[in-house]
Homo-oligomer: A and B are copies of this chain.
């Protein structure tokens, strides 16, 4: 197996990709990145998940934080606040601003996001081919209480960054997804893949949003190659992020087994759960999905590479006749 397609969100996906690159240094890796988290701020187009993948694999990431640039400063943001221009709750640093300025300028000049992403990656050389899931605008909205007895939809970033996912989420809506089309290269990469991997990214607002782009789920189902995922839930809680909250919004319990069932045996051939969730293996296999319990904490690059090797081994296993 030499060609892999990975459906990735932000931090979890980016870190897994670093392990996969280590585990399969000669492989051709195509990343289909979630763009449902994209947001327009200060007139600039910000693509948090694509940038997290690009910075993480390109060596520019703020390691401890997991997002944003290392050695970052916040002069522009402070100046914008001095003009009374917000939002202040979104942490855009000066280095990061440059990325969004280049992206916005190229998009204004008529380039699709996929071409812009390719241009930005020329600098970062992430060692993977990074594609946005779509060149069209898709925006994940979260339905929350409006405090007045009713409900209102807010941008995912507002739910997650401003409200810290501390309010009940009633639904997750990938606005524009139905009208979107896969970006150039996405379906081709899936068709040419030896295996498709779901990293421990959020199954609803990351992988789920990518699968909501018409044609992508079908292409994966019909590719005839192993589809293997890694559970983002360990011991009934997400390793990081708010997967439990948005899983609740779509009626899925926050367990490794329930997430596998949520993807479904029609899509998923293999599933890795953490060793603490060993008892979930039987339930997942009863659903028709091959399952193994292995350590799933991405504590360092070695541990992450080991996870990637387990995923590739499981892919080989399910591919065998």
Q: Chain A: how many interface residues by the 8 Å CB criterion?
A: 27
CB-defined contacts of A98 to chain B, threshold 8 Å? 75-77, 79-80, 82-83
Chain B residues, Cβ within 8 Å of A123:
82-84
Does A42 sit at the interface, judged by CB under 8 A? yes
Q: Quick one: which of A66-86 are within 8 Å of B by CB? A: 73, 75-77, 79-80, 82-85
Which of the segments A101-109, A188-196, A302-310 contacts the partner chain? Answer: A101-109
Residue A44 lies at the interface, judged by CB distance under 8 Å to chain B: yes
B79 touches A94 (CB 8 A): yes
- The answer to whether the Cβ of A293 comes within 8 Å of any Cβ in the partner chain is no
Cβ A76 vs Cβ B97 within 8 A: yes
Which A residues between 94 and 125 are near B, CB-CB below 8 angstroms? 94-95, 97-99, 101-102, 104-105, 108, 119-120, 122-123
* A95 proximity list for chain B (CB < 8 A): 75-76, 79
- Nearest residue (CB) in B for A95 is B79
Once the chains bind, are A44 and B101 in contact (CB under 8 Å)? yes
Q: List residues of chain B with CB within 8 A of the CB of A321.
A: none
Chain B residue nearest in CB terms to A96: B79
A102→B83 contact, CB < 8 A: yes
Is A43 an interface residue when CB atoms closer than 8 A count as contact?
yes
CB of A43 within 8 A of CB of B104, answer yes
Partner of A80, one of B44, B75, B76, B101: B101
- Name A108's contact: one of B43, B76, B97 (CB within 8 Å): B43
Which chain B residue has the least Cβ–Cβ distance from A44? B101
Query: Which single member of B77, B80, B101, B119 contacts A43 (CB below 8 Å)?
Result: B101
Check B102 against A85 for contact (C-beta < 8 Å): yes
In the bound assembly, the distance between CA atoms of A80 and B42 in angstroms comes to: 18
Q: How far is the CA of A104 from the CA of B44 in the complex (A)?
A: 10
Is B94 touching A75 in the complex (CB atoms < 8 A)? yes
Partner of A79, one of B75, B99, B105: B99
Choose one: B42, B82, B105, B119; the contact of A101 (CB below 8 Å).
B42
Beta-carbon contact of A94 and B76 below 8 Å = yes
> What are the residues of chain B within 8 A of A122 when measuring CB–CB?
84
- Chain B residues near A105 (CB, 8 Å)? 42-43, 85
**Residues in chain A within 8 A of chain B (CB atoms):** 42-44, 73, 75-77, 79-80, 82-85, 94-95, 97-99, 101-102, 104-105, 108, 119-120, 122-123
The list of the 10 closest CB pairs from A to B, nearest first, reads A79-B98, A43-B105, A75-B94, A76-B98, A80-B98, A79-B95, A83-B102, A42-B101, A83-B123, A85-B102
Please give 17 more A-B residue pairs, beta carbons under 8 A apart, in addition to A79-B97, A82-B123: A42-B101, A42-B102, A42-B105, A43-B104, A73-B73, A73-B94, A75-B98, A76-B95, A77-B98, A79-B95, A80-B101, A80-B102, A83-B119, A83-B120, A84-B123, A85-B102, A94-B94
